[in-house]
Amino acid sequence: MNEKVPLSAILAAYPVREPSVRFIRHNENMTYRVTDGTTGQSYLLRIHKPVTDKLHGLQHSREGLHAEMQWLADLGAATGMRVQKPVASHAGEWVTSVNLGAESGAQSGVFCTLLEWIEGRDVGHGESFSREMVEGLGRQLGIMHRFSQTYAGAAELRRPRYAGVEQNEEMLARIRSGLSMDLFREEDLEIVGRTFTRIADKLERHSRSGSSWGLIHADINKGNLIVTEQGFSLIDFCLFGHGYYGYDLAGCALTMKTELRDSLLEGYSLVRPGAVTERLDLLEGFMLLSIFGFYSFHLHNPDKHPWMKERMPAFCKNYCVPFLEDRSLFYTL
């Protein structure tokens, strides 16, 4: 076990015996796969200390984490969706805490959660799937959003917000700060700024209502989809919060090959008839926001800087400019 993190002490709070532990990654959280040596059952342990304080947010607070755990438990129970169900501690708590010493570079009182592991494999780069499987993903997303529409107390949950005008302005400001870091060119940032303005104009004409705004996953990408024997499963709800349902749908569309995106929309429409009649150009705007979100998220990750610096000019030319010219992107982005 990692000598800097008291994993044995953390796991002693949970009903896991003779655990074996494998480190996964440290990004928004420190994550480990934990296997019970007596039952073979696996779990996901999350220690909610982001790799940089700049990633810290409501999602790392006790209240925010409890909301996520309650949402996952209720979502699985009400819909039958394959989600990572939270595991309570011996004290009956979904959120525990640990004091990390100075050696680990962490402050005391860091929160921890344990979730059931879902067996499956990652989505391969450029991998194709049957139309039936992609339609099933669309249905699953529609079921989650339909559940969100009637979820008691949803509006009061202290969770992050996404894709609203205010959040987009904050994202644009972060991306613009890349100029002083020598990541982006002024001419590209001018195009980025006009793209955000166009998206804001579209959002102003799109009413925020119970049918378009609610609790969403907010981070759907290939890394947060796994392939199981029963089809796709959505994992990693750590950023879940309030946002446009179209933002989730856009993230799903970006994970699929362009020729399969109609199947995704068809599956979603089976559960939420009429919901996809949201203007396709607005869905394309959400797709662009999802990609901009990647740039914003990794702005302070030096490992991503060469990729970002190389890709931004082509992204602006090939996608932002056509969007500004009202050319469709849904089947090309």
Summarize pLDDT for 255-269 with one digit per residue, the tens: 999 999 999 999 999
Q: How far is CA 273 from CA 72, 139, 259, 325, in A?
A: 25, 11, 22, 30
The whole-number pLDDT of residue 291 equals: 97
Q: Report which of 322, 115, 136, 153 is spatially closest to residue 235, judged by C-alpha positions.
A: 115
Checking if the pLDDT of 207 tops 80, the result is no
The whole-number pLDDT of residue 2 equals: 43
CA 320 – CA 235 distance, rounded (Å)? 30
Q: Report which of 70, 88, 53 is spatially closest to residue 240, judged by C-alpha positions.
A: 70
Checking if the pLDDT of 132 tops 60, the result is yes
- Region 82-95: mean pLDDT is 97
β pairing state of 241-244 and 161-162 = parallel
The topology (CATH level 3) of 7-117 is: Phosphorylase Kinase; domain 1 (3.30.200)
Checking if the pLDDT of 223 tops 90, the result is yes
- Kindly give the interhelix angle for 131-149 and 261-271, rounded to the nearest 10 degrees: 40
Alpha helices in the chain (DSSP H): 7-11, 62-79, 131-149, 165-176, 186-204, 245-255, 261-271, 280-297, 305-315, 321-324
- Region 272-296: mean pLDDT is 89
The whole-number pLDDT of residue 106 equals: 42
Checking if the pLDDT of 34 tops 50, the result is yes
- Region 24-40: mean pLDDT is 95
**Residue 321 CB contacts under 8 Å (≥ 6 apart), including other chains:** 191
Domain 131-325 has CATH 3.90.1200.10: yes
CA 262 – CA 264 distance, rounded (Å)? 5
pLDDT tens figures, 307-330: 999 999 999 999 999 999 999 999
Checking if the pLDDT of 240 tops 50, the result is yes
The whole-number pLDDT of residue 275 equals: 82
The whole-number pLDDT of residue 101 equals: 62
Where in the chain are the domains?
7-117, 131-325
Q: What is the mean pLDDT of the chain?
A: 92
CB 309 within 8 A of CB 184: yes
The whole-number pLDDT of residue 1 equals: 41
Instruction: Place 52 in a pLDDT band, splitting at 50, 70 and 90.
Output: confident
Checking if the pLDDT of 32 tops 80, the result is yes
Instruction: Place 3 in a pLDDT band, splitting at 50, 70 and 90.
Output: very low
The whole-number pLDDT of residue 260 equals: 96
- Region 105-123: mean pLDDT is 85
Instruction: Place 301 in a pLDDT band, splitting at 50, 70 and 90.
Output: confident
- Region 179-190: mean pLDDT is 97
| Angle, vertex CA 286, rays to CA 288 and CA 187, nearest 5 | 30
The whole-number pLDDT of residue 313 equals: 98
Q: What percent of the chain has pLDDT over 90?
A: 81
The whole-number pLDDT of residue 105 equals: 43
Kindly report the pTM of this predicted structure.
Answer: 0.93
Checking if the pLDDT of 241 tops 50, the result is yes
